[in-house]
Structure 1
Amino acid sequence: MKKFIGISILALLAGFSVNAQSTADKVGKDVEKGATKAGDKTAEIASKGKAGVTDKIYKDKEGPNGETIYIDKHSKYYWIDKKGHKIPIEKNKLKTKPKN
């Protein structure tokens, strides 16, 4: 009988540790997603800030989805994505901004 109780308690504790581990994995993944999202937003804001200071903003045109277009010192057109990357774009693919 003592062996049965001992084995039952051991099995119960093992079940709790597995459940705790899976919960910890879920929390870890959520934290990782949040950190990645925050890092991407920080990079986007930093890139847009730098581009706004060093490059010219093309006021009459916009990107395919309404993005702000920048012109660098080599007269190359680009916009900045949500991860802070410069995405080059050809002048003929720019859209005229709608007049409000």
Structure 2
Amino acid sequence: MTESIQVQLKKGALDLCVLALLSRGESYGYEIASTLASAVGMGEGTIYPLMRRMQNDGLVATRLVESASGPSRKYYRLTPMGQGALEAHRRDWRSFVAAVDQLLGDQT
């Protein structure tokens, strides 16, 4: 698989991955970025614009928490709209994967 295809696949699944992470509980940006970097290899620079867009779209809400050891952290959590988006993305993803798996199975 070429690198550009891998990058496009990751970008296509990134919203779903972030929503799934936040469905487990609120998290701050660096924690989200670190989890996604180790799980799917997405860089930190990709996460923050996505989080800003999700906040603007009403999918996540934020709160600032003061830190004794540095700058305040912005924590993200799913909104009810975000939970609905997660459920829709999850259905779409599973349907897509099933269709691709079926096509791949026909080739072997």
Q: Tell me if both proteins adopt one fold, taking TM over 0.5 as the criterion.
A: no
| Normalised TM-score (structure 2) | 0.28
More relative contact order, 1 or 2 (CA 8 Å, 6+ apart): 2
Higher helix share: 2
TM-score by length of 1: 0.30
Tell me which structure has the larger Cα radius of gyration: 1
